[in-house]
Structure 1
Amino acid sequence: MKNPLRKRYLRDLRQEFGKYLVIFLFITLTIAFISGFLVADGSMRIAYDQSFEKYNIEDGHFTVTTEGGNSMLQMLMNSLINDSPAEEWTKNGWIKDLKDMDVAVYENKYMDEEMKVGKETHTIRLFPVRTQVNLSDLMKGKMPEKNDEIVIDRLYAENNGLEIGDILTIQNREFKITGMIALSDYSALFKNNTDMMFDAQKFTVAEVMADAFESLDQTHLKDCYAWKYLDKSLTEQERKDKSEDVKDLLMEKATLTDFVAREDNQAINFTGDDMGGDAAMMTALLYIIMAVLAFIFAVTTSSTIEKESTVIGTLRASGYTKGELIRHYMTLPVIVTLVAALIGNILGYTVLKYSMAAMYYGSYSLPTYHTVWNAEAFVKTTVVPCLIMAVVNLLILRRKLALSPLKFLRRDLKKKQKKRLVRLPNFPFLTRFRLRIIFQNIPIYFMLLLGIMFANILLSFGMAMGPLLSHYKEEVKASEIAKYQYILKGEVDTKTEGAEKYSVTSLETGKDADSQEEVTVYGISSDSQYLKDLDLPKYEGEIQVKKDQKEIDGGDAIFSEGLLNKMGLKVGDDYVLYSKYEKKNYKFHITGSYNYPAAMSVFIYRTQFNDVFEEDEDSYNGYFCNQELSDVKDDWIASKITEHDLTVLADQLDDSVGAIMPMFSAFSVLMYMLIIYLLSKIVLEKNAGAISMVKILGYSNKEIGKLYIAATAIMTVLSQLISLPIAKSSMYVIFLYMMTEMKGWITFYIRPTMYPEIFVIGVVSFAVISFFNYRKIQKIPMEEALKNAE
C-alpha cells in the first residue's frame, strides 16, 4: 500500500508556494551561473592543455650574447635546420652540449615597435609567421600571403575596435589586417615576464610574412630562441632540473640577457593557473550557498514540525517510525533542489556557457574551444548540492524528531525543562513584548546573522574592487618619480632639460621560481630633483666587492612599502636579493620605507649602486625626465616607462573583473533579501497563534507589525552592525591571499562610504521585505488562536 503521507506533498507545495518558488529560483540561477562557468572553464581548460602539443609550445626561451661579442644569431644560423634542428649542432661547443642534453633550439626572433592607434601609442610585438614552434591559431580571416598583410591578436583587436581590412602603420609602412589569431605562447599578453599584470589594451602580438619581417628596420630586433626537450616523458621536477642545467650551461658559455623556462612563463601559464583558481573559487561559493540554503530549509521544516506537532504525535502513536517521518520532511527540499539543479544545468550548458566563455575570451587570448561534456561539473552542481541539502536536513530532523509521541501530542518539543523566563526591567510594554519575541526566536535570528554576514562579505568584495583599483591608479600617479623613465642599452648623453641620470637593475626575492618576485633596484643621484623626499642614508664608499664574491653586502637601503608588506619585512631587518642571471646574492639593511606602489623597489645612491654591482664610478643606464628625450636615438633605448606602464596592473584587472563585480553585488543583495524574507516569514508563522490572539484583543495590523516586524528589524540592524566589521576583516584576508598569489602589490583600500552604503542597502532591502511580511500579518485570521487551544 502506498504511503498516504505522499498526498501531502502537493498540498504543502501549494501552501508554501512562495517559499519554495523563491528558493527554487535562487538555486536554479546560482547553479546555472556556476554550471555554465564550470562547463566553459573545463572545455577551455581542455583546449588550453591540448594546445601545448597541438601548437608545439616551447619548453623555454632565452637570449644570449657570447663573451667574444658574437651574437646568438651568428652562432646558430648555420646550425638550425627546419626538419631536425638538433642534427648539426657540432659547430659550437656549448651548442653541442645542448644537443647532448636532448635539447632542440629554434629561432624565435621578434621586434617590438610602437604604432599609433587613434591618439594613443601602443606596442606591437612582430614575429615572422612561425612554422616550427609556438604556432598560432587562426580565429578569423586568413594568414598573411603578401608582404603588406598582417594578423594580430584577437583580444587586442576587440579591445581597440580593430577589424579585418583595417590598416596598421608600423615603421611608416602600412599593413592590412587579414586575420585574428591567438598565439599559443601568449594566451596572456605579458609584454615582459616580470610584469605584474598582462596588458591586452596597449600591447599586442602579431605575425607577418618572413620577407616582410626581414625588410623592416632591425634596430629593435631581439635574437630570441626557444628550446624544446626531445624527451617527452620528463616529469615536472625533471623538467625544472633540466631547465636549470640549460641555464647553468648558457651562463658558463655566454652572457644571458633573458632566460625563461616554460614553467616560469607568465604569458603561457597565467591563464591556466587562473582557470584552476576560478573553478575552485566558484565551486566553494556554490557549496557555501547551498549549506546556507540547506540550513534555512531545515529551520523552516523545524517550524513546520512545531506547527504540526499534534499530527506528528498521532502518526507516531499510530505506528509511523521516526525514519518514515524524516524521509517525508526531507523529500520536498531534496526534490526542489534536484529539479532546480537539473534546470540550472540545462541553462548552464545551453545559454550561460557562452556568457561564461565570453568572460574568459574577454581577458585572455585563448585558442578555439569546443564544448565538452563535463561529468565532474555535473557532479559538483547537481549531486553535491542535493547531498548537502539532504545531509543538513537529516541531521536537524533527526534531532527534532527524537522526542516521544506523547511530547508531540502535548506540544512539548523541548528536550530540556523550560528555563525560567528572563525577568525584564520595567521597560514599556511594547519594548518588553519585542524582547520576548527576540528571545523566543534566538536560533532563527542566529541564522539571520550568519546569512547576513555571508551576504555582506560577497557584497563587500563586489563593491570594493572598483574603488580599490581606482585608488591604486591615483596613488601610482601621485607617487610617480617622473613622467618618463628611460632605461638605456648603454651610456648616452642628452641635452634634454630636466633629464637626470640614474642606475637600475633587477633582482629576485627568492631562488625558487615559485617564490620569485622581481625587485627593481634604483641607484639615485645624491642631489636628485625627482626623489627629494627620499631619505637615503649617507654613503661613504665603504663597499668593496672582491673578485668572484658570491654574497655581497649591499649596505643601507630604502625599501618600497609594497616590498615590505609582501615579504613581511620591517625597518631594521636585513634582506637578501638574488641575481637572476648570475650566481650572486645581495644583502641590504632596511633603514626606511618609501611609498612607491608602482613597483617592488629598493633605493640606494648611484655611487653605492656602482660599487655594489661592480660598475664604473660614474656609470648610469637610465634617465628620469618629465619630457621625452628627443635627442636620444631609439636604438639606444632599451625601455621607456610611462604612466600607462605603471598603472597597467589596475587597468587590466579593472577590464578583466570589472564586468563580474556588479554581478557579485546584485547576487549578494538578492541573497540578503532571500534570507531575510524566509527567516522573518518563519518568525511570523511560528507566532501565528499569538498574532491571532492579539488581533482578538483588539490590536490592529499596524500595531502588530510594530511588534513582530520591528523585532526582526532590530535583529537585522544588529546583525548588520555585527557583520560589517567581520566582512571588512574577511575582505582584508581575501585581498592578502590574492596579493600572495600574484605578482606585485596593491595597497588595500576601502572607500570610506562603502560600509555605510552596504548598511543602507540592507535597510532598504528589509523595508521591501517588510511589505510582504505586513501582508502576511494581514492574512492571519483570528480563528487561528482557537485551533490549538488547550
Structure 2
Amino acid sequence: MKNPLNRSLWREFKQNLARYLSISIVLIVMISAVSGFLTVVYSVKDLLYKNQDECNVEDGQFAVTQTLNKDTKDKIEDLDLNLYENFYSEQDLSDDTMIRIYKNREKVDIATVYEGILPKNKHEIALDRLFAEKNDYKVGETIHLNGEDIKIVGFIAVPDYTSLIEKNNDLMMDAIHFGVAIVDNKTFDEFAEKNITYNYSYVLDKKDASDKENYDKLNDIRDICLENGYMLTNMMTSDMNQTISFLPNDMGGDIPMIKALLYIILVILAFIFVVISETIIDEESTVIGTLLASGYTKNELIRHYMVLPIIITIVSCIIGNIVGYLVFPPYFKDMYYGSYCLPPLKVQFIPEAFITTTIIPLVFMLVINYLMLRHKLNISPIRFLRRDTHKNRIKQHIKLKHGSFFRRFQIRVILQNKGSYFTLFIGILFASFILMFGIVMGPCIDNYLQNSEDSIKADYQYVLKQPVDIKNAEDAEKLTITSLETYYKAGDLDLDVSFYGLDNDSKYYDDISLPSKDDEITISYDFAQKMGLKKGDKITFTNPYTEKDYKFKVYDIYDYKAGFSAYMTQKNLNDMIDQDKNYYNAYLSDKKLDIKDEYIQSKLTRNDVVKIGEQVTSSFGQMIPIMTTVSIIIYLVVMYILTKLVMDRNATNMSFLKVMGYDDKEISKLYLKASAIVVVISLIICAPFSYYLMDVLFKFAFMRFTSYIEMYMPYYLHIVVFVVGLLVYSLVNFILNRSIKKVDLGESLKESE
C-alpha cells in the first residue's frame, strides 16, 4: 500500500514554492557553470595528451650549423631513440611579424587540420589556427612571403607549439607577432635557400622516461655531435621547451577554486534546506505527534521529510548538467582556445565532472538532511502534540520597562525569535562570505600584479648559457642563478624555485639578510606563504635532471612578492652546484646590456614581470563576472528565504495584531524593523568572520596554482558588502511587505494558545 504521507508532498511543495524554486535556481545555475567548466577543462586536458601521443610529439630537439651525416645519425639513434629532420625556415610576414615554416611532417610533431586542408601544391600554406585568428586571416586568402604570393589552404594545430613562444627564453606567448606554418616540400626548398635552421627532433623508445633520463640522452647527443665536429646552436628536452610544456604545466590551476565555490554553495543550500525542514516540522508538530502516537516510526517520517529536498536536488542536478553541457562549454572553451593552439575540441562526458556536480551534491544533501531530521525528530510524541519541538528550551520572561511601545515590542520579537534570528545570522555569514568571494577576486589580482611589479629589483635580469664578460657595464652585477624543485603536498605538484647566489654587498638586494652557513637559505615571502614555512623550518629540494636532493633550514623570510625564490651567498651556491667561487651565470642591471642572443638563456625585464602576472591571472579574471553574479543571487535568495521564515513563524501573531486593529504599516514596523536591526548587527559582526574564512579558502582555492595570490580586501569592499546587504534586505523588505498584507485575520483563530 502506498504511503499516505506522500499525498501531502504536493501540498508542502506548493506552500513552500518560492523557497524551493529559489534554491533550485541557484543550484541549477551553479551546477551548470561548474559542470560546463569542468567538462571543458578535463576534455581539453584529455585532448592535449591524446594529441601529443597520436601526433608523436618529440621528446627533445637540438639544432646544428649543418646537416648531420649518416654515421652521426646512426650513432645518435643507437641511444635507443628515433631521430627526425625537423628543419624550419623563418620568414618575415611584416616588419614585426614572423612565421616559422616547416615541411609537412608525417612522422613526428604531426599537424592536425583545424579547418581546410594541408598544403599539397606549390605556394600553398597552412597557418596555425590561433595565429590566423589573431591576425584575422581566412582560408582562401593570399599572403606575401619571400617575394611570392602564398595561398592559405588551411588552419592547423601542431603538438610542439601548443603555446606560441618565439624564443624559449621568452617569458610570454605572442600569437600576434609569431606563428607556425606548414608548406609542401617544393615551397619549403625555396624558403630554405635564404634562411634555414637545421633542427633535429628525437623520440625516445622508452615512453615513460623520467626528466633525468631524457636530459641524460640529450647530453649524450651533444657529446656525439661535438665528437663528430658539429656545433650546436640549441638543445632542449620537451620539458625544457616552453612551446610544449607551458600548457600542461598551466592546466588545472583554477579547478580547486571552482570546486571550492561549489562546495561552499552546497553548504549554504544544505543549511537552507535544514531551516526549511525545521520550519515545516514546527508548523506540523501536532500532526507529527499524532502520526507517532498512531504507530508511524521515526524513520518513516525522516524518509518523508527528505523526499522533497532530494527530489529538488536531483532535478536541479539533472537540469544543471544538461545546461552545463549545452550552454556553457563555448564560453569556457574560448578561455583556452583564445590563448593556446589546440586541435578541434569535442566536449565529452567526463565522469569526474559528473561526480563533482551530481553525486557529491546529492550525497551531501542526503547526509545533512538525514542528520538534521534524525536530531529534530528525536523527541517524544507528547512534546510534538504540545508544540514543544525545541529541546531543553526554558522560557524566560524578560521585563522591558524602557522605551516606546514599538521599541519594546520589536525587542520582544527579537527575543521570542532568537533561534530564528540566530539562523538568519548564520545565513548572513554564509551569504556575506560568498559575496566577498565574488567581489574580492578583482582586487586580489590587481594586488598580485602590483606586488610583482614593486618587488622587481632590477630593470633587467639576464641568465646566461655560460659566463660572458661585458665591457663598460658598471651598473651590472654578477650573480649565480639555478632552479630546483620542491614537492608541495597540498597541491600535489612540484614547485620550481629559483635559487639566487648573491654577493653580501649586493646593491640590488641591499635589504636582504643572507645566511653564512651552506645548509641555510633565505626564502621569498610568496614561497613561505605558499608552503606554510617559517624561520627554523627545514625543506628539501630536488634537481630534476640529476635527481640529487638538497636539504636546507629556513634562515630568514625576504619580502619578495614576485615569485618563488631562495637566496644564498654566491660562494655557497657555487659550491652547491660544483662550480668555482668566481663562477656566475647571470647579470642584474638597470640598463640594457650588450649581450649577444646566443649567450642568453633568458631575459627578464620589468615589463615582462607585469605581463606574466597578467597572463597568469587572465583565466581567473574571466571567472570574476560569473562568481560575482552567482554570489549576489545567492545573497538575495538566502536573505529572502531566512527573513521570510521569521515572518512565517510570526504569521499567527500578525493575525492577532490585525484583529486588534493594527494596520499593515504598523505591523511591518513592528516585525520587519526588528529583522532590520538583526540584519544590520549581523552584517557588522560577520565582516571579520567572513574575512578570516576567505583567507583560509584562498589557500585551498589556489593550491594547484604555481604562484601565490594573497588574500587582499581593501577597506572599501567591507563597506560594499555592508551596503549590498542593506540593499538586498530592502528588496526583501519590499517583497515581505506584500506578504504581510496577505496574512489572514482568521489565522489567529486556528491557535488555542
User: 8 Å contact 1:522–1:604 — kept in the other structure?
Assistant: yes
The answer as to 2:498 corresponding to 1:519 is yes
- When normalised by structure 1's length, the TM-score is 0.77
User: Secondary structure of the residue that 1:467 maps to in structure 2?
Assistant: helix
Q: 1:12-91 counterparts in 2 under 5 A?
A: 12-58=12-58, 60-61=59-60, 63=62, 77-78=69-70, 89=74, 91=75
C-alpha distance in 2, partners of 1:361/1:270?
A: 14
The answer as to 2:118 corresponding to 1:138 is no
Q: What's the CA shift string for 1:272-314, capped at 9, x where partnerless?
A: 5765565565455444433432331232122122222233334
| Matching residue of 2:372 | 396
User: Secondary structure of the residue that 1:140 maps to in structure 2?
Assistant: strand
The answer as to 2:180 corresponding to 1:206 is yes
Pick which of 682-691 and 614-623 moved more.
614-623
Query: Displacement, 1:755?
Result: 2.3
Q: 1:89-238 counterparts in 2 under 5 A?
A: 89=74, 91=75, 96=78, 98-99=79-80, 103-107=81-85, 129-144=104-119, 151-159=126-134, 161=136, 163-164=138-139, 178-188=153-163, 199=173, 204-209=178-183, 210-211=188-189, 214-217=192-195, 223=199, 225-230=201-206
Q: What's the CA shift string for 1:549-586, capped at 9, x where partnerless?
A: xxxx7799986544555566678999997777679999
Query: Displacement, 1:608?
Result: 9.8
User: Secondary structure of the residue that 2:157 maps to in structure 1?
Assistant: strand
The answer as to 2:370 corresponding to 1:370 is no
C-alpha distance in 1, partners of 2:400/2:366?
A: 40
Query: Displacement, 1:260?
Result: 3.9
| Matching residue of 1:774 | 737
Query: Displacement, 1:685?
Result: 0.6
| Matching residue of 1:85 | none
Pick which of 437-446 and 585-594 moved more.
585-594
Q: What's the CA shift string for 1:674-706, capped at 9, x where partnerless?
A: 111111111111111112223333433333323
Among residues 509, 512, 530, which one is paired with 2:484 in the alignment? 509
What code does the residue aligned with 2:721 have?
A: I
The answer as to 2:340 corresponding to 1:340 is no
Q: What's the CA shift string for 1:198-254, capped at 9, x where partnerless?
A: 636667551344536634546xx5856443234x5x5xxx64674476478679889
Among residues 355, 375, 382, which one is paired with 1:406 in the alignment? 382
Which 5+ residue runs of structure 1 have no aligned equivalent?
A: 64-70, 81-87, 544-552
The answer as to 2:310 corresponding to 1:331 is no
C-alpha distance in 1, partners of 2:338/2:479?
A: 35
C-alpha distance in 1, partners of 2:8/2:735?
A: 26
C-alpha distance in 2, partners of 1:522/1:113?
A: 40
C-alpha distance in 2, partners of 1:133/1:109?
A: 12
Judged with a 3 Å threshold, the aligned counterparts in structure 2 of structure 1 residues 511 and 20 are, in CA distance, closer, same or farther, namely closer
What code does the residue aligned with 1:671 have?
A: I
Q: What's the CA shift string for 1:4-23, capped at 9, x where partnerless?
A: 54443333333332222222
C-alpha distance in 1, partners of 2:248/2:623?
A: 19
What code does the residue aligned with 1:140 have?
A: E
Q: What's the CA shift string for 1:706-738, capped at 9, x where partnerless?
A: 332233333333333343323333333344456
C-alpha distance in 2, partners of 1:484/1:114?
A: 27
What code does the residue aligned with 1:778 have?
A: K
User: 8 Å contact 2:254–2:701 — kept in the other structure?
Assistant: no
Judged with a 3 Å threshold, the aligned counterparts in structure 2 of structure 1 residues 455 and 651 are, in CA distance, closer, same or farther, namely same
Q: CA RMSD in A?
A: 4.7
User: Secondary structure of the residue that 1:517 maps to in structure 2?
Assistant: strand
User: 8 Å contact 1:507–1:580 — kept in the other structure?
Assistant: no
C-alpha distance in 1, partners of 2:18/2:612?
A: 46
Q: What's the CA shift string for 1:631-675, capped at 9, x where partnerless?
A: x66556555444442123322134322221111011011111111
Query: Displacement, 1:745?
Result: 4.5
Query: Displacement, 1:372?
Result: 2.8
Judged with a 3 Å threshold, the aligned counterparts in structure 2 of structure 1 residues 664 and 749 are, in CA distance, closer, same or farther, namely same
User: Secondary structure of the residue that 1:521 maps to in structure 2?
Assistant: strand
C-alpha distance in 2, partners of 1:142/1:605?
A: 57
Q: 1:210-289 counterparts in 2 under 5 A?
A: 210-211=188-189, 214-217=192-195, 223=199, 225-230=201-206, 239=210, 242-243=213-214, 246=217, 259-260=236-237, 262=239, 268=244, 271=247, 282-283=258-259, 285-289=261-265
User: 8 Å contact 1:488–1:639 — kept in the other structure?
Assistant: yes
User: 8 Å contact 1:152–1:204 — kept in the other structure?
Assistant: no
Judged with a 3 Å threshold, the aligned counterparts in structure 2 of structure 1 residues 75 and 452 are, in CA distance, closer, same or farther, namely farther
The answer as to 2:324 corresponding to 1:359 is no
- When normalised by structure 2's length, the TM-score is 0.81
Judged with a 3 Å threshold, the aligned counterparts in structure 2 of structure 1 residues 588 and 3 are, in CA distance, closer, same or farther, namely closer
Pick which of 679-688 and 749-758 moved more.
749-758
Q: 1:679-758 counterparts in 2 under 5 A?
A: 679-737=642-700, 741-745=704-708, 749-758=712-721
Q: What's the CA shift string for 1:486-510, capped at 9, x where partnerless?
A: 5566647577xx8733435531234
Judged with a 3 Å threshold, the aligned counterparts in structure 2 of structure 1 residues 748 and 222 are, in CA distance, closer, same or farther, namely farther
C-alpha distance in 1, partners of 2:342/2:620?
A: 17
Judged with a 3 Å threshold, the aligned counterparts in structure 2 of structure 1 residues 111 and 525 are, in CA distance, closer, same or farther, namely farther
Query: Displacement, 1:432?
Result: 4.6
The answer as to 2:727 corresponding to 1:764 is yes
Query: Displacement, 1:380?
Result: 4.4
C-alpha distance in 2, partners of 1:224/1:720?
A: 65
Pick which of 709-718 and 506-515 moved more.
506-515
User: 8 Å contact 1:534–1:594 — kept in the other structure?
Assistant: no
What code does the residue aligned with 1:48 have?
A: L
C-alpha distance in 2, partners of 1:342/1:584?
A: 51
The answer as to 2:287 corresponding to 1:311 is yes
Matched residues, percent identical? 33
Q: What's the CA shift string for 1:12-47, capped at 9, x where partnerless?
A: 333332222222222222222233334334433432
Judged with a 3 Å threshold, the aligned counterparts in structure 2 of structure 1 residues 465 and 377 are, in CA distance, closer, same or farther, namely closer
User: 8 Å contact 2:292–2:298 — kept in the other structure?
Assistant: yes
Judged with a 3 Å threshold, the aligned counterparts in structure 2 of structure 1 residues 405 and 604 are, in CA distance, closer, same or farther, namely closer
C-alpha distance in 2, partners of 1:294/1:75?
A: 68
| Matching residue of 1:646 | 609
Pick which of 563-572 and 344-353 moved more.
563-572
C-alpha distance in 2, partners of 1:591/1:391?
A: 47
Q: What's the CA shift string for 1:431-484, capped at 9, x where partnerless?
A: 554444344444444443444334434433332333333334344445545555
Query: Displacement, 1:323?
Result: 4.1
The answer as to 2:445 corresponding to 1:456 is no
Judged with a 3 Å threshold, the aligned counterparts in structure 2 of structure 1 residues 29 and 387 are, in CA distance, closer, same or farther, namely same
| Matching residue of 1:787 | 750
What code does the residue aligned with 2:722 have?
A: F
How many pairs align?
737
Query: Displacement, 1:128?
Result: 5.1
Judged with a 3 Å threshold, the aligned counterparts in structure 2 of structure 1 residues 482 and 108 are, in CA distance, closer, same or farther, namely farther
User: 8 Å contact 1:717–1:763 — kept in the other structure?
Assistant: yes
Q: What's the CA shift string for 1:78-127, capped at 9, x where partnerless?
A: 258xxxxxxx63x36xx63x22xxx334455668899878xxx6786665
Judged with a 3 Å threshold, the aligned counterparts in structure 2 of structure 1 residues 446 and 276 are, in CA distance, closer, same or farther, namely farther
User: 8 Å contact 1:508–1:578 — kept in the other structure?
Assistant: no
